[in-house]
A = this chain, B = another copy of it.
């Protein structure tokens, strides 16, 4: 009995999760060391296993949250039957870039780890029902009946997310600063919907 979720244990668990999230994102699962997580969280090494059983289990918890952050959070927007396609494109651009801008390595992290372990994480994306049968997809199909709407969905995701994949390249080549990247993403946030509307031929 005794404690359910007291102050101390919560902050310990949260510190571990925070540091784990940061380390996993920076180095990927395999290159992240439990000792680094413990050290940077300022807790004893064995505490990680006490609270999370194993590195793998901790990782799975983190992954679940990040997959949600990358895919599931847009479900309300794309499922809304009361907004037009044009409005959805505006909203998606705004929401996606605003969400990812502060965690720019999230997309590449999630997609990399899904690729390294497809059987484990692939099915966590509620792709079939919620996305495939969304109003968004139907509206894409209506706007361009000749093209598989999934292709347009991928294209728009690419327009919104691909710059985050290229960020390390741009940064390392000394071509773009942190400031400059954020500015260019703010600009893209405004232009992306218009670009997609031109592709779809809607105005």
Residues of A within 8 A of B (CB): 26-31, 105, 108, 111-112, 114-116, 118-119, 121-123, 125, 127-128, 132, 147-148, 150-151, 154-155, 157-159, 161-163, 165-166, 168-175, 184, 187-188, 191, 195, 198-199, 201
Please indicate the chain B residues that have their CB under 8 angstroms from the CB of A162 in the complex: 154-155, 157-158, 161-162, 165
7 residue pairs, one from A and one from B, having the closest CB atoms: A122-B172, A158-B162, A30-B31, A158-B158, A30-B30, A127-B173, A115-B168
Please indicate the chain B residues that have their CB under 8 angstroms from the CB of A198 in the complex: 198-199, 201
| A contacts with B: majority SS | helix
Please indicate the chain B residues that have their CB under 8 angstroms from the CB of A128 in the complex: 173-175
Task: Check A175 against B115 for contact (C-beta < 8 Å).
Answer: no
A116-B27 CB under 8 A given contacts A125-B169, A128-B175, A166-B111: yes
A171-B132 CB under 8 A given contacts A151-B188, A159-B159, A184-B151: no
17 contacts between A and B (CB under 8 A): A28-B28, A28-B30, A28-B116, A111-B165, A114-B168, A118-B171, A118-B172, A121-B172, A122-B168, A123-B174, A127-B170, A127-B173, A147-B187, A148-B187, A150-B175, A151-B191, A157-B166
Task: Check B171 against A122 for contact (C-beta < 8 Å).
Answer: yes
Task: Check B163 against A158 for contact (C-beta < 8 Å).
Answer: yes
Please indicate the chain B residues that have their CB under 8 angstroms from the CB of A171 in the complex: 118, 122
Task: Check B168 against A111 for contact (C-beta < 8 Å).
Answer: yes
A122-B173 CB under 8 A given contacts A111-B168, A158-B163, A199-B198: yes
With the chains together, A108 CA to B164 CA distance in Å?
A: 12
With the chains together, A127 CA to B169 CA distance in Å?
A: 9
Please indicate the chain B residues that have their CB under 8 angstroms from the CB of A169 in the complex: 111, 114, 122, 125, 127
Task: Check A159 against B168 for contact (C-beta < 8 Å).
Answer: no
CB distance from A73 to the nearest CB of B (A): 16
